Amino acid sequence: MGKFVIRKTDTGYVFNLKATNGEVIATSQVYSSEQACIGGIESVMANADAHVEDQTVKDFETLTHPKYEVYLDRAGEFRFRLRARNGENIAVSEGYTTKANCLNGISSIGKNAAEAEIVRE
């Protein structure tokens, strides 16, 4: 089972969703309070099964929120971001060398987020 790890930073609170093996699947934005950070976690849990919009293909179909957006970053790596119903980013991924690995990261959120415990670092 995965876990959400909340960490205090100099400017607020962030969370990482970690898989059972300890690897970071997704990272949040910086929240101004721990309670807001927990709200972000709850949003990931609620939207973990969102559909995927693949922005790496020509003439991709724009989907409604909530959704995962798969895209290429400036370094040419595949990344995803999870957007809530209101369009806000709630979690982003690391860079992946292949689209298949990026899609596996999205799948891992679906497998880990719903039952993940929340811990504080």
- 79: nearest Cα among 45, 111, 103: 103
Q: What are the pLDDT digits (tens) for 58-112?
A: 999 999 999 999 999 999 999 999 999 999 999 999 999 999 999 999 999 999 9
- 41: nearest Cα among 85, 6, 88: 6
Q: How confident is the model at residue 27 (pLDDT cuts 50, 70, 90)?
A: very high
Domain ranges of the chain: 3-120
d(CA 66, CA 96): 22
- Architecture per CATH, domain 3-120, reads as Roll (2.30)
| CB within 8 Å of 114: residues ≥ 6 apart | 45, 48
Mean pLDDT throughout 37-53? 96
